[in-house]
């Protein structure tokens, strides 16, 4: 989603800020802008489209100045056009960038209009800069004016404010949208994600909910929600992968698909010993907190939700505990029941997914025995606010369509199944089978990647299709859902997934030669049932693509193409069958010429509700 970069330095900062925005581009956005203070005046450039357009505009008309703010916008209020792009400016004096949604913007807008302020955009954000300008009339500093402003805001914000009359300072405030302060030598930076600032610093402090900070070249002063001066620990960045590098690959998505063996090896590293998954994989307190778990409630959105759905089969089948899985935006707005000895597990690549974070906060109020997050971002809000964290160590994921984060989440959830199961009497043989399976995942995924060429050829069949149906059973049903989601996200083909037993309850009506049907068919105890469903499709003239185990005994013919998937055990089958789904969507998107890494209308790290 939106990206923020800001700087107070002794050198010109426009280039640093643009590079920061470039590094956040992967999140998806529709317009970009930058404002700097130059000789006591605000200079602003904004463009609809890519950061490249903004950069070109600044190259032809350079912006000089050591204090500045920049933004990539993913519109929530007001069209993606130039006048709605950030930074917004009040009375030629105060400039603001903002991530999030100001829910009481209508009321504030009316009040500010009454005070004589003119609005030049349709955004909710613009109320912030006029309010700061108004508050400055009765407060002695920009800090105090911003503190008074945020008290009037309802909703979510990560915001940075500068004042042209004071080029020594920026004020940053956070509630619901992440902000990080970067510490340099005689200069300071701010961003919505540390990735933006890695070229200039590796020392970061993460603001906490309600914090407001005054950032000058020499000092950073942070105040909590009550206005008390506080310190936030400055940490060296643990980010090891350079987000800016696509390497030999044409797209980040393809790079990340191919990184999966390495990402899985990283996530397993040091977490299995003597044939057992170590409790410490989930943090220092895990031994105590996971002891008497009898129920697991998983909360997530999108791809992470599909990982949770697969884990429900595992936790109930193998660990012997009950498990519910729910979409965060539903969970947070309904009354749910708390089972005794319940563990709440949130899953989020970024650790900042707004709905998931809100669900975690609600669950803490409800009194869950313990909370855990499965997350790829150290220091993120979900990690900080959960009792336990499984750090995915998948490396930065840049492609908006999640790939390696999903398979690493599956591995983490299988480890959780082993630990919860062990505490619940899982027999040692089963534990050993799970750990062996975990350890052979990287090599098996490498083999599955060998399907790439065959799938690239197959993808040609999909290029003129408008719809596709994905079928699976058991823990392959969520994999079918993930396959359908990937195809939708990056090739814009309408795709739906069904548990194949559901076919005759409706979707069979859709079957004809224009509706390709993708079937995930590992060799498991549901295979014979799945075969009956395949026959139901065949009898109605459907065209099928069956991803199957070599022992499943499917044969290609006029109505069915069989793609043999490397043989694998039941513990890793969901993960292995994900690989061909990822490759299929990637190759279809390539043929269709869509923007693979930044699909239209989508954003990564969904920090608004």
Q: Which residues bind ligand HGA (CB under 6 A)?
A: 1-2, 73-78, 98-101, 123-125, 607-608
Q: Cα torsion at 212, 214, 215, 219 (round to 10°)?
A: -120
* Residue, CB closest to ligand HGA: 1
Q: How far is the CB of 112 from ligand HGA (least distance, A)?
A: 16
Q: How big is the CA angle at 118 (ends 114 and 119), to the nearest 5 degrees?
A: 115
Paired strand residues for 360: none
Q: How far is the CB of 383 from ligand HGA (least distance, A)?
A: 21
Pick the closer one to ligand HGA by CB: 174 or 217.
174
Pick the closer one to ligand HGA by CB: 267 or 598.
598
CA distance 89 to 101: 18
Exposed e or buried b for every residue in 373-400, given b needs 16+ CB within 10 A? bbbbbbbbbbbebbbbbbbbbbbbbbbb
Pick the closer one to ligand HGA by CB: 99 or 523.
99
Q: How far is the CB of 598 from ligand HGA (least distance, A)?
A: 14
Pick the closer one to ligand HGA by CB: 27 or 164.
27
Q: How far is the CB of 609 from ligand HGA (least distance, A)?
A: 11
Query: For residue 156, which of 232, 103, 204 has the smallest C-alpha distance?
Result: 103
Query: Is 2 an active-site residue?
Result: yes
Q: Are 413 and 256 in contact (CB under 8 A)?
A: no
Dihedral sign, Cα of residue 314, residue 316, residue 320, residue 323: positive
Pick the closer one to ligand HGA by CB: 83 or 216.
83
| Six-digit token string for 37 | 């203070």
Pick the closer one to ligand HGA by CB: 158 or 580.
158
Choose the catalytic residue: 2, 129, 301, 323: 2
Choose the catalytic residue: 393, 404, 531, 604: 604
Judge residue 528's burial from the number of C-beta atoms within 10 Å of its C-beta, 0-12 exposed, 13-18 middle, 19 or more buried: exposed
Paired strand residues for 6: 69, 190
Q: How far is the CB of 7 from ligand HGA (least distance, A)?
A: 20
**Which residue's structure tokens are 């313990």?**
370
In angstroms, what CA-CA distances link 542 with 323, 469, 558, 560?
Answer: 35, 10, 10, 9
Cα-trace Rg, the chain:
25
Question: DSSP labels for 382-445?
Answer: HHHHSSEEEE-------SSS-SHHHHHHHHHHHHHHHHHHHHTT--HHHHHHHHHHHHHHHHHH
Q: How far is the CB of 61 from ligand HGA (least distance, A)?
A: 24
CA distance 465 to 476: 24
Pick the closer one to ligand HGA by CB: 497 or 608.
608
CA distance 377 to 195: 11
Question: In 10 A of CB 416, how many CB atoms?
Answer: 28
Q: How far is the CB of 125 from ligand HGA (least distance, A)?
A: 5
Query: Is 604 an active-site residue?
Result: yes
Pick the closer one to ligand HGA by CB: 211 or 352.
352
CA distance 537 to 354: 40
H/E stretch holding 528: helix 527-538
Q: How far is the CB of 402 from ligand HGA (least distance, A)?
A: 18
Which amino acids are annotated catalytic?
2, 604
């Amino acid at each position: 989603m939106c990206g923020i970069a800001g700087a107070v330095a002794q050198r010109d900062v426009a280039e640093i800020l643009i590079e920061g925005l470039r590094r956040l581009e992967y999140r998806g956005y529709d317009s970009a802008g930058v404002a700097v203070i130059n000789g006591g005046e605000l200079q602003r450039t904004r463009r609809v489209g890519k950061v490249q357009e903004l950069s070109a505009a600044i190259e032809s008309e350079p912006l000089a100045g050591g204090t500045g703010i920049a933004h990539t916008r993913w519109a929530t209020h007001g069209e993606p056009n130039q006048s709605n792009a950030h930074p917004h400016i009040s009375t030629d004096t105060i400039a603001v960038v903002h991530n999030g949604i100001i829910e009481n913007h209508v009321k504030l807008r009316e009040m500010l209009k009454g005070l004589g302020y003119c609005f030049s955009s349709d955004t909710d954000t613009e109320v912030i800069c006029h309010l700061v300008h108004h508050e400055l009339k009765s407060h002695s500093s920009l800090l105090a004016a911003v503190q008074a402003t945020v008290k009037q805001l309802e909703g979510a914000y990560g915001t940075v404010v500068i004042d042209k009359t004071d080029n020594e300072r920026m004020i940053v405030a956070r509630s619901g949208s992440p902000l990080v302060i970067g510490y340099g030598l005689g200069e300071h930076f701010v961003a919505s994600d540390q990735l933006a600032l890695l070229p200039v610093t590796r020392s970061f402090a993460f603001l906490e909910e309600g914090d407001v900070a005054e950032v000058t070249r020499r000092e950073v002063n942070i105040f909590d929600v009550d206005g008390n001066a506080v310190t936030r620990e400055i940490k060296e960045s643990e980010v090891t992968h350079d987000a800016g590098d696509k390497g030999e690959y044409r797209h980040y998505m393809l790079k990340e698909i191919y990184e999966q063996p390495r990402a899985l090896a990283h996530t397993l590293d040091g977490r299995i010993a003597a044939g057992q998954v170590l409790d410490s994989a989930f943090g220092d307190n895990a031994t105590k907190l996971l002891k008497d778990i009898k129920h697991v409630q998983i909360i997530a959105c999108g791809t992470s939700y599909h990982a949770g759905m697969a884990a429900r089969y595992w936790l109930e089948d193998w660990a012997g505990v009950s498990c519910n899985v729910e979409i965060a935006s539903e969970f947070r707005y309904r009354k749910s029941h708390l089972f005794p000895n319940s563990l709440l597990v949130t899953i989020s690549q970024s650790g900042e997914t707004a709905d998931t974070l809100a669900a975690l906060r609600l669950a803490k109020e409800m009194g869950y025995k313990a909370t855990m997050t499965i997350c790829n971002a150290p220091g993120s809000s979900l990690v900080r606010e959960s009792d336990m964290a499984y750090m995915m160590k998948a490396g930065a994921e840049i492609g908006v369509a999640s790939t390696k984060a999903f398979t690493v989440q599956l591995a983490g959830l299988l480890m959780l199944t082993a630990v919860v199961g062990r505490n619940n009497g899982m027999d040692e043989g089963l534990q050993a089978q799970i750990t062996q399976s975990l350890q052979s995942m990287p090599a098996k995924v490498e083999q599955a990647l060998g399907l790439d060429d065959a799938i690239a050829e197959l993808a040609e069949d999909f290029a003129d299709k408008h719809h596709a149906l994905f079928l699976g059973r058991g823990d392959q049903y969520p994999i079918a859902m993930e396959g359908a989601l990937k195809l939708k996200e990056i090739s814009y083909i309408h795709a739906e997934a069904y548990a194949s037993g559901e076919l005759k309850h409706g979707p069979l009506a859709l079957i004809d030669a224009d509706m390709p049907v993708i079937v995930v068919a590992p060799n498991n105890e549901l295979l014979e049932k799945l075969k009956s469903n395949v026959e139901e499709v065949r009898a109605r003239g459907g065209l099928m693509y069956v991803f199957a185990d070599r022992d499943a005994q499917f044969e290609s013919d006029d109505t069915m193409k069989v793609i043999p998937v490397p043989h694998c055990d039941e513990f890793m089958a969901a993960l292995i069958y994900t690989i061909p789904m990822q490759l299929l969507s990637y190759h279809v998107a390539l043929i269709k010429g869509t923007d693979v890494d930044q699909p239209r209308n989508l954003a990564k790290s969904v920090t608004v509700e």
